Amino acid sequence: MPRYYFDVSDGAELFIDDDGMDLPDMPTAIGEARRALADMMRDSLRADGADAVSIAIRDGADGPVIISVNLTTVHPDNTKP
Amino acid sequence: MAEHMTGLTEQLQTFFGRIRLRDTLGEEEEQALVEAASERITFAAGEDLVTEGDRPTRSILLTRGYACRYRLQKGGGRQLMAIHLPGDFVDLHSLLIKEMDHSVGALTECAIITFPHDRLVRVTERLPHLTRMLWLLTLIDASCHREWLAGMGLLSAAQRTAHLICEIYVRLEVVGLASGHKFNFPITQAALADAVGISSVHINRVVQELRQRDLISWENGLLTIHDWQALVATADFNDRYLHLVKEQR
């Protein structure tokens, strides 16, 4: 099984994954990353943390694939900029 | 036979220690437990000690290694509900609940002692105080579940991880299996992720974060807590739920 590395970027911090995980294929790796993002976003929202979290998946053959969640707050009825 | 008994008595000392933390344990009570003990069995990491749906005829007490209480999802997901340590009567539950609603698995190589249910029933008929002590142990299991459940709702993944580390250290330390804020913790990162209830990708980042904050290090199965007070503060950990007070019960 190929090894996939998941580098996580949230707000100011970047965590480079030195260990990686052995997974059958890139779609499985993307599934793992999406699940991780859901957990991270939950914590981030509750702790007033970063508005953007992304995971870059690296492997030897293909990639990187970047998956990200961006949280935006808008006031549609507010005319002020 | 006498040799068998001596060996059992030795291996049950950590368990007796866990009772003695909370109350006295009389000689007759100790002897009754030794006599109720039956076989010694070892399990390899990954094996089930008891499986969901089983109807065990014996309860098991962990004497070596780390075990977990867990549920599996049809899709393959796993959630741990507790981590068990040497001296824990992990499967006292099956004496009364009969059909297992969860599994108990070995996270590392494990050694156990079995207690046939009929012998335990006789112990409860004869020794009311010891019976209350066994009851107390299952209540403490439930208390740990409450703590984990509250953590799932209230704490972040990093806090839950810190909390679990505090819990395991305290539970090892109180029976002399750890000291100096370090302990052997040779479980996989995937198992830790299943305990905290997050993905393997996320646990990787969480452990790295705790390392970078210089709270812990975790190398070659040895977990070292560098700043106990800070780890406790991060986790909002209070050992009250472990009921470590010795009093008459």
pLDDT score of B81: 97
Give chain A's mean pLDDT: 84
- Which structural domain range is residue A37 located in? 3-70
Asked whether the predicted pLDDT for residue A78 surpasses 70, the reply is: yes
pLDDT band at A12 (very low <50, low <70, confident <90, very high): confident
Query: A interface toward B at CB cutoff 8 Å?
Result: 6, 8, 15, 17, 19, 21, 32-33, 35-36, 39-40, 43, 46-47, 55
Residue A63's pLDDT is what?
65
Angle between the N-to-C axes of helices B128-154 and B27-36, in degrees from 0 to 180, rounded to the nearest 10? 80
pLDDT (tens digit, 9 = 90+) per residue, B83-92? 999 999 999 9
Mean pLDDT of all residues in B184-192: 95
C-alpha B32/C-alpha B108 separation (Å) is 29
Q: Could you tell me the pTM of the whole model?
A: 0.92
Q: Give A71 or A8, the one with higher predicted confidence.
A: A8
Q: How far is CA B177 from the centre of its chain?
A: 13
Report whether the peptide linkage leading into residue A64 is cis, meaning its omega lies within 30 degrees of zero: yes
The answer to whether residue A79 sits within a structural domain is no
Q: 3.40.50.2300, 1.10.10.10, 1.10.730.10, 1.10.3720.10: which CATH number matches B156-242?
A: 1.10.10.10
At residue A46, the pLDDT reads 79
Question: A76 lies in a domain?
Answer: no
What mean pLDDT comes out for the span A7-34?
87
**Confidence band (pLDDT; 50, 70, 90) for A80?**
low
Closest CA to B36 of B3, B2, B5: B5
Report residue A76 CA to chain centroid gap.
27
Closest CA to B208 of B161, B143, B249: B161
How close does chain B come to A80, measured CA to CA in Å? 36
Q: How confident is the model at residue A45 (pLDDT cuts 50, 70, 90)?
A: confident
Q: Using an 8 Å CB-CB cutoff, list chain B residues near A17.
A: 201, 204-205
Distance (Å) from the alpha carbon of B184 to chain A's nearest alpha carbon: 20
Instruction: List, for residues B162-178, the tens digit of each pLDDT value.
Output: 999 999 999 999 999 99
Contact B200/A at CB under 8 A: yes
Is residue A75 situated within a structural domain?
Answer: no
Report the number of distinct structural domains present in chain A. 1
Q: Rounded to whole angstroms, how far apart are CA atoms B40 and B37?
A: 9
- The pLDDT assigned to A57 comes to 93
Task: Give the pLDDT confidence score for residue B176 in this predicted structure.
Answer: 96
- Fold assignment, B2-147: Jelly Rolls (2.60.120)
Instruction: Give B234→chain A minimum CA distance, Å.
Output: 13
Cross-chain CB nearest to B199 (options A15, A19, A32): A32
Q: What is the pLDDT of residue B140?
A: 97
Question: What b/e sequence results for B71-97 when a residue is b if at least 16 CB atoms lie within 10 Å of its CB, and e otherwise?
Answer: eeeeeeebbbbbbbbbbbbbbbbbbee
Of A17, A35, A47, the CB nearest to B204: A17
Residue type, A11: G
- pLDDT (tens digit per residue) in B97-138: 999 999 999 999 999 999 999 999 999 999 999 999 999 999
Instruction: Let me know if the fold of B2-147 is the same as that of B156-242.
Output: no
What number of other Cβ atoms are within 10 A of residue A65's Cβ? 16
Range with the poorest average pLDDT among A28-42, B15-29, B215-229: A28-42
Q: Hey, where are the domains in chain B?
A: 2-147, 156-242
